[in-house]
Structure 1
Amino acid sequence: MNPKVKTGISAAQTGLKAVKIGKKALNLKKKLPGEKKKATQKALEKSAKKAAKQEQKTEKKQSCRQRNRRALKNTKGIGRIALAIWNRYF
């Protein structure tokens, strides 16, 4: 699958997760008294940020793996070409 398509899909999934967390926060906020509302809201915002950050880390790790694999393939190809030229001309 194209890496751009994968990143688009993962971004959409992250957006859906954020919407779900926001809905939960609003529901909890309506049910709790004043001070607890603020505390739960802060906790939910913090957990949402943490989840988004973790999602970005996994995406970055996955893209780095793909990039490294491509680089490895390219270097192997370059080595084969260099060896063939060396054998032919030297």
Structure 2
Amino acid sequence: MFEKLQRAFWKALTPDLVAETPSTEPAADAMLAPAVLSALGGAINLKSQQRVALTRIRVQLQDPTRMDEVALKTAGITAVMVLAGGVVHLITGL
């Protein structure tokens, strides 16, 4: 109930910024280019993905050893930041 009230409050303050219905996470091929998806080890290697900022995508991989950093850079990824637990940040901009 509190979440509905909070959502209605923010919707009243910022009607164009709060979506009416919660959006679902986009499919793997919607957020990532085919070359990037292939360099990450394919769609089957992705546990989750999330756009963190305009120039950063956070992905969690099943098997981080299947990722090819050289292929990612060739596909247009500016930088790759590998974290623990199979989490990888893909920097896509400057």
| TM-score, length basis structure 1 | 0.22
Q: Give the strand-richer structure, 1 or 2.
A: 2
Q: Give the helix-richer structure, 1 or 2.
A: 1
- Larger radius of gyration between Structure 1 and Structure 2: 1
